[in-house]
Each structure stands twice: as C-alpha cells, then as structure tokens.
C-alpha cells in the first residue's frame, strides 16, 4: 500500500483519488471533507451509519482510530520534501465519551512545526515528533483523543 500511496500522491489529484477509494475509508463512512492546497490542514468526517456502529449503537472505536491514521504522515511527506522519510511510528487513542453523531477530526501543521522538524532531523539525522488529534462530535464535544508519533529521518 505504501508504494500505491506514494505513486498516487505524486500526481495531481492523486491524494483525493486515494482517500476516496482507500478501502478502510470507503467501507467505514470516513470522508475527507477539506484539504488545503499546501497540505497543512485536513478535515475528516466519520458518518455514523448502521454498518459502523458498535454493539451499543455508538461510533465503532476502530473507525474512530482509522479516521486519524495516515494524515499527519502524508502532511509531513508533502511539506518536508524529498530529502526526508516519514513513517507513522506510534498511535494511541483515548476514548472520552461515546460518539452518538457524525464526528470530525482536524489536522494542522504550520511553519514552526515544519522548521522544528527539519532543524532536529538535520542536526540528529532522525527524530520522533508527537501530534495530538481531537475527535469531536457535531456539537463540538470531545469524543476521543489520538496521540501520534511520526518518525522522520534524512534520506
């Protein structure tokens, strides 16, 4: 899947094609709603449907976790450039309350984050960088927190 992602993401419109037809998203109700042109902001929605509810009728935890999976890695790949290798290293989810509606996650990186990563990796050859994603329901209530560690090294 990594080669498939790399090939698609290098072409115009490839990212959109990838996220529309990526099986873990396609079959779980996950939809990318917005991607900034500079890949520094992404908004994702998980619709609550009969096929992604858990036993008690709320958002399935695996789908909540899946909706946060590749985005920081992709954002860093797009923003750091070809001199860097980026991998998801670790993810951890903390469930706060049941998701009883559609839920949303927003991913952001800015110039300061990019420059700090480049500085550390250029100095040390590699590094691990933490990111936190909040999953919220329609009313803005926190449903879950996902902590991610992205591994970055020089090529």
Helix (H) or strand (E) holding 106: strand 103-108
- Over its C-alpha atoms, the chain yields an Rg (Å, rounded) of 16
**Domain harbouring 140, CATH code:** 3.10.129.10
pLDDT digits (tens, 9 = 90+) for 128-152: 999 999 999 999 999 999 999 999 9
Segments forming the whole domain that contains residue 146: 2-154
The two structure tokens encoding residue 125? 């050859």
pLDDT digits (tens, 9 = 90+) for 4-44: 455 544 544 566 666 666 777 777 889 999 999 999 999 99
The pLDDT value recorded for residue 12 is 43
Residue 130, strand partner residues: 149
Instruction: Give how many domains the chain has, as a whole number.
Output: 1
The pLDDT value recorded for residue 1 is 47
pLDDT digits (tens, 9 = 90+) for 58-90: 999 999 999 998 899 999 999 999 999 999 999
Predicted model pTM: 0.86
């Amino acid at each position: 899947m990594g080669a498939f992602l790399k090939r698609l993401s290098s072409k115009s419109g490839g990212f959109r094609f990838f996220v529309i037809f990526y099986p873990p998203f396609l079959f779980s109700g996950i939809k990318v709603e917005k991607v900034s042109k500079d890949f520094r902001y992404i908004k994702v929605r998980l619709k609550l449907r009969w096929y992604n509810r858990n036993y008690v009728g709320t958002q399935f935890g695996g789908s909540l976790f899946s909706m946060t999976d590749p985005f920081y890695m992709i954002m860093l790949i797009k923003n750091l450039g070809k001199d860097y290798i980026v991998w998801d290293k670790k993810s951890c989810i903390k469930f706060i309350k049941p998701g009883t509606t559609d839920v949303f996650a927003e991913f952001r990186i800015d110039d300061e984050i990019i420059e700090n990563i480049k500085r550390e990796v250029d100095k040390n050859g590699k590094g691990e960088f933490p990111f936190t994603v909040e999953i919220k329901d329609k009313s803005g209530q926190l449903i879950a927190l996902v902590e991610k560690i992205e591994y970055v090294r020089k090529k």
